[in-house]
Amino acid sequence: MSKLNKILLAIVIVLLVVLAFMLWKPDVAKMVSGGSYYAVYLTSGDLYFGKMVWYSPDVLTDVYLIQTNQATSKDQPQLKLVKFSDAVWGPSDELKINEKDILWKTKLSANSQVLKLINGSQQ
């Protein structure tokens, strides 16, 4: 086998591996998203909580958001943490965010109240 054929074969193998990875990306995303939760604040004013996917930092899995219920009296609005996939329009549990729309993102600390609520809802 000539040197050129070996190089072409290596290129084809690499392309096949990349293609296979891209086809299985949604399943891989769930496996490699890690154990750390992040808060992501967007230019729209939306705040999401979820696990960042290591190969694509603009993708969150296991996504939560804060929902406000309007108070019926002079009480303060009620805040509650809801699972993104439980929205009435039925989204998947993966949120792809345009990187330019992210104002800031931060890893949640172990003593975060949001993280305690998330862990409580998963039990």
As a whole number of angstroms, the distance between CA 59 and CA 69 comes to 27
pLDDT single digits (tens) 41-58: 999 999 999 998 766 667
Give the global pTM. Answer: 0.65
Phi-psi region of 96 (alpha: psi -120 to 50; beta: other; left: phi over 0): beta
Structural domain including 1 reads 1-32
pLDDT number for residue 29: 46
Q: What is the CATH number for 77?
A: 2.30.30
Tell me, yes or no, whether 88 and 116 share the same domain.
Answer: yes
Q: Which amino acid is at 59?
A: V
Instruction: Specify the higher pLDDT residue, 2 or 69.
Output: 2
Tell me, yes or no, whether 111 and 56 share the same domain.
Answer: yes
Tell me, yes or no, whether 109 and 52 share the same domain.
Answer: yes
Strand, helix or coil for residue 104: strand
pLDDT single digits (tens) 73-106: 666 777 788 898 887 777 878 889 988 999 999 9
pLDDT at residue 39 greater than cutoff 90: yes
